[in-house]
């Protein structure tokens, strides 16, 4: 059977419905739906997207369309009691585009089709308003000329500009509008070598064809590319009886939202213009009135409109954006769609609608995209701000920041102490920069990717960061950076947007973050639905506090090396590394023990009742030593050793591939005194906190294991220390020993590893690095080009590579659980805060995801959405 090409709506009935967006487009589907629920919609019909696709493919109208459109016109004529082309009582129609996905303003529309030299006189007599009729005719010629005949708009606008003021004041001289019409027709004649078409049917078909073609205009194509809308969808075309808001004092037109789209408050929000058409609001010549004025000026219309809007909202169970017109006191609804809103309003509306019993909690959760929560937690660039982007890098930690440029960590500290706000700009950051990073508003680096030091630390701190911004050059010697052909020095102001990767010279206006009571309620509902638990990556008591505030159910990764990088510790650490023998090392470690123990005591107190996973030392030792001679000399002096000894140690520790080198559990195996000190600090702290009456659940995690024997070796040592401490202190604490799965081999032999592990935690940063053989710190050198060339579209350090790395996770879960069905499994790489990865983890059936405290709200939401079966959008959408 041939497919239906035209769907009628009007008079309280419709062939289509809201669920038919694919073939009727959003506008057509909603027009049909509004008719069905009895709203006053001008009658019309929708030509399907399939008819458009046929036209674009074959360059001609699909067979059967003419007949169906003719039938559609008859229907409109019957409902309106007017005839298309009737010299006395002409029907006028609009022809509007309307695709499946909203593409505001991208495609074409023609209004007032059906007017010509004869019908315009009929309209003038019928409405008893010649001024209105001639204005309608000149609008048609102008729009038709521009959209259909491609005359451009400028000449029409030039002529109209001279008349406009007088016209809107109602002071236009006799004969002026006739002159305008004549001039407009002359423009068409001059530009196209033909007369403006007088046959209403010809007008209609040319307009339909033009709207079909407008799917392919460059503007629409670009929009589709940006929003990933498929090119083969095509647009539907809505042909609808015209109603007029410009027929005098009892006519008006307006746009209204059923709730405030900025705050989410439950009150009508919008504006209207008396005696005007929709495009007059857009043109901005007259200032529209707020909708509240309608209540005063036209109370009956207001009541009727409010009733229709409330009906629409209850029917769609959604905040709606509605276009309406009043023609001589009669209200018509012209269009409705779900209203665009700010993130704050989105959360408020969703939670309010649950309380109003319009939607369920599950529906409310499914309406909030992860990025909405993300913007709520960080400062963002004000939506109305205007700025020029000077360079773009990788968006590594969301939120926007502005401040004075500084190139050195110590300058960041000094300047912030003077009350200044700074952006730390480095080629790349290292442990030395952490102090400055902590003080800076945001971080910008020229090198590195989403798991570079700068990115990981910034996310942990909840600070905006843009990394791998190759377009900037950092010249430390001269204390300047080069960006977009300019040289900037310390003190020059920069703005960065860590959500988009944009770098802007100068200050841009921002808006403050907040988690409203509604957002908190929404997250609590999420907790009721989700199966995945959420933990935080936290290295300090302050991080832990923040983690609890955002709902962490434990710490999934405490990177102990971050404690050693602290200013007062790094010296003792260096002393340990420079020690000549185990004895010397032990002496330094004895100094570190109480410091480390105090850290753990504080963290255990904050996390009372919840598990805390502490990882033993992971980075290669050279990271703790200086790289330049000046610093080495200073260190030698400080420790009372020779410069040569420092230099030799640095040289000895140098590696060609440090990421594949002497790090992770290899360190603890070769230097057992390090693991022993850390284990002692953990268990002494745990016993102390337990004695205080608090519950502690320490979990000791061994990094970079590639063979079960490595883990067994470390486990034995940890158990020995635990037993010794418990005996000394006279208190026992239940604990677990487990491992990171971050080396592909560990995933491949996970059954063997599970024999000696109480838990697995996927270190997906290293696992991605080692699976792809992409250096975490250097892949920024080629990856942007990979994207540009279409070799790869997604950054595997940002969202988990489900096919490859995800396959390893799947295998490790299967093998591990085969050996130990109660094996606890989590993920603690940076992917733990990425929506699509969280969805994958839910499907994988692991126990928890661990992410930076600031990502916790998103993790809670997405875990709930995954449990509810909602497809999770990409995090950067
Ligand atoms: C990882 O490799 O995923 C991980 C969490 O450890 P790190 O980032 O400290 O190497
Ligand atoms: Mg790792």
Atom number, ligand 1, closest to the C-alpha of residue 451: 8
The rounded distance, in Å, linking the Cα atoms of 438 and 457 is 9
Question: pTM score, two decimals?
Answer: 0.81
Examine the pLDDT at 784 and tell me if it is beyond 80: yes
Confidence of residue 282 (pLDDT cuts 50, 70, 90): low
Which pLDDT tens digit goes with each residue over 192-201?
999 999 999 9
The whole-number average pLDDT for the span 711-733 is 98
Give the pLDDT confidence score for residue 6 in this predicted structure: 98
Which of 559, 565, 665, 833 for mutating ligand 1's site (highest number of atoms within 8 Å of CB)?
559
Which residues does ligand 1 sit against, CB inside 6 Å?
A: 557, 559, 618, 742, 763-766, 828-829
Average pLDDT over residues 53-68: 97
Based on the residue annotation, tell me whether 453 is a catalytic residue of this protein: yes
Q: If you average pLDDT over every residue of the chain, what do you get?
A: 92
Mean pLDDT score, 214-223: 90
Q: How many CB atoms lie within 10 A of CB 809?
A: 27
d(CA 424, CA 412): 7
* pLDDT above 70 as % of the chain: 98
Contact between 278 and 271 (Cβ < 8 Å): no
If one residue of 742, 830, 848 were mutated to test the ligand 1 pocket, choosing by the most ligand atoms within 8 A of its CB, it would be 742
The rounded Å distance from CA 532 to ligand 1 centre is 20
Question: For this structure, is 831 an active site residue?
Answer: no
Local confidence band at 216 (pLDDT 50, 70, 90 cut-offs): very high
Give me the pLDDT at residue 874, please: 35
Residue 601 has pLDDT above 80, yes or no: yes
173 CA → ligand 1 middle, Å: 78
Instruction: Say how many Å lie between the CA of residue 457 and the centre of ligand 1.
Output: 12
Ligand 1 midpoint to CA 764 (Å): 7
CA distances from 448 to 162, 188, 467, 530, 791 (A): 58, 58, 6, 34, 20
Tell which atom from ligand 1 comes closest to the C-alpha of 761.
5
pLDDT at 1: 59
pLDDT at position 765 over 50:
yes
Q: CB neighbours (10 Å) of residue 618?
A: 23
| DSSP bridge partners of 824 | 759
Residue 875: pLDDT band with limits 50, 70, 90? very low
Instruction: List the residue whose alpha carbon is closest to atom 10 of ligand 1.
Output: 766
Q: Looking at residues 260-265, what average pLDDT do you find?
A: 87
Which candidate, 834, 833, 827, places its Cα nearest to that of 813? 827
873 confidence band (pLDDT: 50, 70, 90): very low
Provide the token pair at 751.
Answer: 């059954």
pLDDT bracket for residue 451 (50, 70, 90): low
pLDDT of residue 418: 84
Task: Quickly state the pLDDT bin for 574 (edges 50, 70, 90).
Answer: very high
Nearest residue (CA) to ligand 1, atom 9: 559
What local confidence, expressed as pLDDT, does residue 251 receive? 93
Per-residue pLDDT at 698: 98
Residue 120: the pLDDT is 97
Residues 4-21 have a mean pLDDT of 96
For residues 819-831, give the mean pLDDT.
97
Of residues 378, 453, 622, 842, which has the active-site annotation?
A: 453
**pLDDT band per the 50, 70, 90 thresholds, residue 259:** very high
Looking from the CA of residue 557, the nearest atom of ligand 1 is 5
Q: Which atom of ligand 1 is nearest to the CA of 766?
A: 2
Rounded to an integer, what distance in angstroms lies between the CA atom of residue 800 and that of residue 810? 13
Separation between Cα atoms, residue 159 and residue 163, nearest integer Å: 7
Res 514 pLDDT > 70: no
Quick: pLDDT tens for 419-445: 899 999 999 888 778 889 989 999 999
Tell me: pLDDT of 226 over 80.
no
Instruction: List phi, psi (to 5°) of 611.
Output: -70, 145
Helix (H), strand (E), coil (C) string for 417-461 = HCCCCEEEEECCCCHHHHHHHHHCCEEEECCCCCCCHHHHHHHHH
Ligand 1, atom 6, lies closest to the CA of 763
Extract the tokens encoding 280.
């007059």
Ligand 1 atom, smallest distance to 769 CA: 2
Q: pLDDT over 90 for what percent of the chain?
A: 77
Instruction: Give the H/E segment covering residue 304.
Output: helix 299-316
Task: Name the residue of 702, 766, 777, 852 whose CB sits within 8 Å of the most ligand 1 atoms, as the mutation to test its pocket.
Answer: 766
Buried b / exposed e along 465-504 (16+ C-beta atoms within 10 A):
bbbbbeebebeeeeebbebeeeebebebbbbbbbbbbbbb
Ligand nearest to the CA of 762: 1
Residue of minimum CA distance from atom 3 in ligand 1? 763
Mean pLDDT of 67-72: 98
829, 848, 851: which to mutate for ligand 1, most atoms within 8 A of CB?
A: 829
Task: Give the pLDDT score at 877.
Answer: 26
pLDDT of residue 740: 98
Question: Ligand 2 centre from 376 Cα, in Å?
Answer: 30
In this structure, the residue with its CA closest to atom 1 of ligand 1 is 763
At 542-554, the pLDDT tens digits run 999 999 999 999 9
678-710 tens-digit pLDDT: 999 999 999 999 999 999 999 999 999 999 999
Catalytic entry in 52, 828, 841, 851: 828
Q: Is residue 343 pLDDT above 90, yes or no?
A: no
User: Distance from the CA of 403 to the center of ligand 2, in angstroms?
Assistant: 32
Average pLDDT over residues 290-319: 94
The Å distance, Cα 456 to ligand 1 centre, comes to: 9
Atom of ligand 1 nearest to the CA of 828: 5
Nearest CA to ligand 1 atom 4: 763
* pLDDT at residue 285, rounded to an integer: 59
CA of 453 from ligand 2 middle (Å) equals 12
Q: Write out pLDDT tens, residues 152-173.
A: 989 999 999 888 888 878 788 8
CA nearest ligand 1 atom 8, residue: 765
What would the pLDDT profile of 19-55 be if each residue is shown by its tens digit?
999 999 999 999 999 999 999 999 999 999 999 999 9
User: Which pLDDT tens digit goes with each residue over 852-867?
Assistant: 998 999 999 999 999 9
What is the model's pLDDT at position 876?
29
pLDDT bin (cut points 50, 70, 90) of residue 342 is: confident
Quick count: other Cβ atoms within 10 Å of Cβ 442? 27
Could you say which ligand is closest to the alpha carbon of residue 705? Answer: 2
Under a CB-based contact definition with an 8 Å cutoff, are residues 180 and 160 in contact? yes
pLDDT > 70? residue 506: yes
Q: How confident is the model at residue 2 (pLDDT cuts 50, 70, 90)?
A: confident
Q: Per-residue pLDDT averaged across 517-542, rounded?
A: 96
* Residue from 763, 764, 848 to probe ligand 1 pocket by mutation (most atoms less than 8 Å from CB): 763
Please state the atom number of ligand 1 nearest to the C-alpha of residue 831.
3
Per-residue model confidence (pLDDT) at position 459: 75
Is the pLDDT reported for residue 75 higher than 70?
yes
């Amino acid at each position: 059977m041939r497919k239906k090409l035209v769907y009628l709506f009007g008079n309280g009935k419709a062939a289509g419905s809201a669920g038919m967006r694919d073939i009727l487009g959003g506008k057509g589907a909603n027009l049909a739906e509004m008719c069905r629920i009895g709203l006053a919609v001008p009658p019309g019909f929708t030509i399907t997207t399939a008819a458009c696709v046929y036209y674009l493919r074959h360059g001609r109208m699909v067979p059967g369309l003419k007949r169906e459109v003719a039938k559609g016109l008859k229907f409109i004529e019957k409902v309106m009691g007017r005839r298309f082309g009737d010299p006395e009582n002409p029907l006028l129609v609009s022809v509007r585009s309307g695709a499946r996905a909203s593409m505001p303003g991208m495609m074409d529309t023609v209004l007032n089709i059906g007017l010509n030299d004869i019908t315009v006189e009929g309209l003038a007599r019928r409405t008893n308003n010649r001024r209105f009729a001639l204005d309608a005719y000149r609008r048609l010629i102008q729009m038709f000329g521009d959209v259909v005949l491609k005359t451009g708009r400028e000449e029409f606008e030039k002529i109209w500009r001279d008349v406009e003021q007088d016209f809107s004041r109602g002071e236009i001289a006799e004969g002026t509008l006739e002159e305008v019409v004549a001039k407009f027709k002359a423009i068409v004649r001059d530009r196209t070598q033909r007369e403006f078409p007088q046959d209403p049917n010809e007008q209609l078909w040319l307009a339909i064809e033009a709207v079909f073609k407008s799917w392919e205009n460059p503007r629409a194509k670009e929009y589709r590319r940006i929003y990933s809308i498929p090119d083969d969808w095509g647009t539907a075309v809505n042909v609808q009886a015209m109603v007029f808001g410009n027929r005098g004092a009892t006519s008006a037109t307006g746009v209204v939202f059923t709730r405030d789209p900025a705050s989410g408050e439950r009150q009508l929000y919008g504006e209207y213009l008396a005696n005007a058409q929709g495009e007059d609001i857009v043109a901005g010549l007259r200032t529209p009135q707020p909708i509240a004025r309608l209540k005063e000026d036209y109370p009956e219309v207001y009541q009727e409109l409010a009733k229709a809007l409330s009906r629409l909202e209850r029917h769609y169970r959604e905040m709606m954006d509605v276009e309406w017109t009043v023609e001589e006191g009669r209200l018509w609804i012209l269009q409705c769609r779900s209203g665009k809103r700010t993130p704050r309003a989105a959360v408020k509306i969703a939670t309010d609608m649950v309380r109003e019993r319009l939607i369920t909690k599950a529906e409310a959760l499914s309406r909030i995209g992860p990025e909405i929560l993300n913007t709520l937690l960080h400062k963002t660039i004000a939506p109305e701000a205007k700025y020029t982007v000077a360079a773009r890098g990788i968006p590594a930690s969301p939120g926007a920041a502005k401040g004075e440029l500084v190139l050195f960590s110590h300058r960041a500290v000094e300047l912030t102490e003077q009350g200044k706000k700074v952006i730390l700009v480095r080629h790349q950051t290292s442990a030395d920069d952490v102090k400055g990073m902590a003080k800076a508003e945001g971080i910008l680096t020229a090198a590195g990717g989403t798991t570079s030091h700068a990115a990981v630390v910034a996310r942990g701190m909840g600070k905006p960061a843009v990394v791998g911004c190759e377009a900037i050059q950092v010249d430390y010697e001269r204390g300047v950076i080069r960006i977009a052909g300019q040289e900037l020095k310390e003190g020059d102001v920069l703005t960065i947007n860590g959500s988009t990767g944009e770098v802007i010279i100068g200050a841009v206006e921002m808006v403050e973050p907040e988690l409203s009571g509604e957002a908190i309620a929404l997250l609590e509902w999420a907790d009721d639905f989700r199966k995945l638990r959420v933990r935080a990556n936290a290295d300090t008591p302050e991080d832990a506090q923040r983690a609890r505030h955002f709902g962490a159910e434990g710490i999934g990764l405490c990177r102990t090396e971050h404690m050693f990088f602290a200013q007062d510790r790094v010296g003792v650490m260096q002393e340990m590394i420079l020690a000549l023998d185990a004895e010397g090392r032990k002496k330094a470690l004895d100094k570190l023990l109480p410091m480390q123990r105090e850290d753990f005591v504080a963290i255990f107190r904050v996390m009372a009742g919840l598990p805390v996973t502490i990882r033993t030392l992971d980075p290669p030792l050279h990271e703790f030593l200086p790289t330049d001679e000046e610093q080495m000399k200073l260190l030698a002096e400080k420790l009372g050793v020779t410069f040569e000894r420092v230099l030799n140690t640095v040289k000895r520790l140098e590696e060609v591939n440090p990421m594949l080198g002497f790090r992770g559990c290899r360190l603890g195996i070769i230097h057992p005194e390090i693991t022993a000190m850390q284990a002692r600090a953990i268990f002494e702290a745990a016993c102390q906190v337990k004695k205080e009456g608090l519950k502690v659940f320490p979990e000791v995690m061994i990094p970079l294991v590639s063979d079960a024997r490595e883990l067994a070796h470390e486990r034995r040592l940890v158990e020995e220390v635990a037993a010794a401490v418990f005996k000394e202190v006279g208190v026992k604490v239940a604990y677990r020993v487990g491992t990171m799965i971050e080396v592909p081999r560990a995933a491949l032999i996970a059954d063997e590893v599970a024999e000696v592990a109480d838990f697995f935690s996927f270190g997906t940063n290293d696992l991605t690095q080692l699976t792809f053989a992409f250096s975490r710190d250097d892949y920024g050198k080629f990856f942007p080009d990979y994207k540009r060339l279409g070799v790869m579209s997604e950054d595997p350090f940002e969202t988990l590579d489900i096919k490859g790395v995800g396959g390893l996770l799947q295998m490790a879960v299967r093998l591990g659980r085969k050996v130990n069905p109660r094996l606890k499994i989590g993920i603690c790489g940076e992917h733990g805060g990425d929506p699509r990865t969280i969805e994958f983890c839910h499907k994988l059936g692991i126990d928890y995801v661990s992410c930076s405290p600031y990502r916790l709200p998103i993790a809670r939401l997405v875990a709930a959405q995954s449990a509810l079966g909602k497809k999770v959008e990409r995090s950067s959408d």
